[in-house]
Copies of this chain bind each other. A is one copy, B any other.
Amino acid sequence: MEKAMDAGRQSEVTCVDFWANEFGMRVRIALRELGVAFEYVEEDLRVRERSELVRRMNPVHRSIPILIHHGLPVCGSVNIIEYIDEGWGEARLLPGNPVDRADARFWADFVDHKVFGAQVRFLESKGEEKDELVEQLKRLEEVLGDKGFFSGDDFGFLDIVTIPFSSMFHGYEQLGRFDLDVECPKLTQWAKRCKQRESVRAVLPDDTEMYELHKHLYGIE
């Protein structure tokens, strides 16, 4: 369970999220990377009805994460990271070079749609449809190549965007009956490197709890 860095009620930054939300984990990691104090408000996604706060702050999608800064909402996880990075990080999480920045945004979109989409289909099919998931992870492995991090030598934007999905690696292996150390050895090594960071360790949930939750959500025995 996430513990806020600043639990004060009058905190200027609030993050509304659910502990197992891969999109929201990104925001909490980014906040910690840049040392932004924030109040954490848990929205339990296991409950069907959204809270009054979420309905008010994100009436269009009623989704989380939501960052509330001085009372104003910012929605959409990548959008929030860019906002935090511009406001507190002197834009150091995103690459400085326009070509690299466009590339990072392209792959963030790939994770949002292709990887997440493949994960949903994998879980809905109770592990049957695993080829697409493995294919997308292998593609990420190619993008990583021999670099230490997606962002190069240092942990950055695309690492933050992608690392929450590693909390499902254990679930992928259990349900899909494959070994990610064999299929994507560079990706699993990268995840280990990321987990050495305090920001990542503080945010990523326990692998087993994460898988148990998803078994419950998708009706997997």
Q: Counting CB contacts under 8 A, is A60 at the interface?
A: yes
B98, A79: Cβ atoms closer than 8 Å: no
Q: Counting CB contacts under 8 A, is A50 at the interface?
A: no
Counting contact residues on chain A (CB < 8 A from B), the size range is 20 to 34
A58-94: which residues lie under 8 A (CB-CB) from chain B?
60, 69, 72, 74-76, 79-80, 82-83, 86-87
Q: Counting CB contacts under 8 A, is A99 at the interface?
A: yes
A69 cross-chain contacts in B, Cβ below 8 A:
99
A105, B76: Cβ atoms closer than 8 Å: yes
Q: Counting CB contacts under 8 A, is A110 at the interface?
A: yes
Q: Which residue of B lies closest to A74 (CB)?
A: B102
* A123 nearest CB across to chain B (Å): 21
Where chain A touches its partner, the secondary structure class is: helix
Q: Counting CB contacts under 8 A, is A214 at the interface?
A: no
- Determine which of B79, B105, B109 lies in contact with A102 in the assembled complex, contact meaning CB atoms within 8 Å: B79
B105, A98: Cβ atoms closer than 8 Å: no
Q: Counting CB contacts under 8 A, is A139 at the interface?
A: yes
Q: Counting CB contacts under 8 A, is A101 at the interface?
A: yes
Q: Which residue of B lies closest to A99 (CB)?
A: B72
A139-198: which residues lie under 8 A (CB-CB) from chain B?
139
Q: Counting CB contacts under 8 A, is A218 at the interface?
A: no
Q: How far apart sit A104 and B75, CA to CA, in the bound complex (Å)?
A: 11
Q: Counting CB contacts under 8 A, is A114 at the interface?
A: yes
B60, A83: Cβ atoms closer than 8 Å: no
A80 cross-chain contacts in B, Cβ below 8 A:
102
B86, A101: Cβ atoms closer than 8 Å: yes
Q: How far apart sit A87 and B100, CA to CA, in the bound complex (Å)?
A: 13
